[in-house]
Amino acid sequence: MEIRQLLADYSPFNEQEEKDRELMLRYLDQFDNLFKRENQLAHFTASSWVVNRDRTKVLMVYHNIYQSWAWMGGHMDGETDFLATAIRETKEETGIEQVTPISQELFSLEILSVDGHVKNGKQVGTHVHLNLTYLLEADETQQTSVKPDENSGVAWMGLEEALTKCSEPYMRIIYAKLNDKLNRIQ
């Protein structure tokens, strides 16, 4: 589905999603390269909130740059299939082999600020991620492995534990929203 239609069809969960959706649509009007990192101001990313079958745990990675437990996700790098990107990034970052969308529908959206940092020996300037999130399910007995260039830990944790283990205040708000949305569909 074309990104403008995807965003237009999405029903925001709260004021944060409404404001972020409006801004994403404005960015689409102003920029033609939002699917590539070459847009150093803002670009689209896809993330996943991966839960176990009982929906009592979430799979998290310890992100090396942010020094925090976090969800999985990454840059589109020219791709336009957000769900496929979310699944690919989840597999790459956790080592799990089987992950299934609970729904093909967009689960959440958010604009996330990214502080300047060094990655692979190169300076990356401060920018924003126009992020679309998908709800995925995986068997928690699958073997996991770290992706050393991105994370140093992979763990299943309780939904509330994911909030307390995250050291980024704004991401705790986002994860609480995801948990709230998850609880409403169970």
Place of tokens 């705790």: 172
Q: Would you say how long the chain is, in residues?
A: 186
What is the tens place of the pLDDT at every residue in 99-154?
999 999 999 999 999 888 887 788 888 889 999 999 999 999 999 999 999 999 99
What is the tens place of the pLDDT at every residue in 102-111?
999 999 999 9
Which tokens go with 52? 């176990």
Listed residue (81, 80, 63) closest to 72, CA to CA: 63
Q: Are 37 and 43 in contact (CB under 8 A)?
A: yes
Q: pTM surpassing 0.85?
A: yes
Give 176's contacts (C-beta < 8 A, 6+ positions apart).
163
In angstroms, the CA 40 to CA 43 distance is 7
DSSP category for residue 77: T
Domain ranges for the chain: 3-184
Place of tokens 């790098």: 77
**How many Cβ atoms from other residues are within 10 Å of residue 175's Cβ?**
23
pLDDT at 186 over 80: no
Q: Are 83 and 92 in contact (CB under 8 A)?
A: no
Lowest mean pLDDT among 19-23, 98-102, 182-186: 182-186
Q: Which amino acid is at 74?
A: G
Q: Going by DSSP bridges, is the β-strand pair 127-137/42-51 parallel, antiparallel, or unpaired?
A: parallel
In angstroms, the CA 83 to CA 104 distance is 7
Q: Are 110 and 84 in contact (CB under 8 A)?
A: no
Q: Which CATH superfamily is domain 3-184 in?
A: Nucleoside Triphosphate Pyrophosphohydrolase (3.90.79.10)
Mean pLDDT of the chain, nearest integer: 95
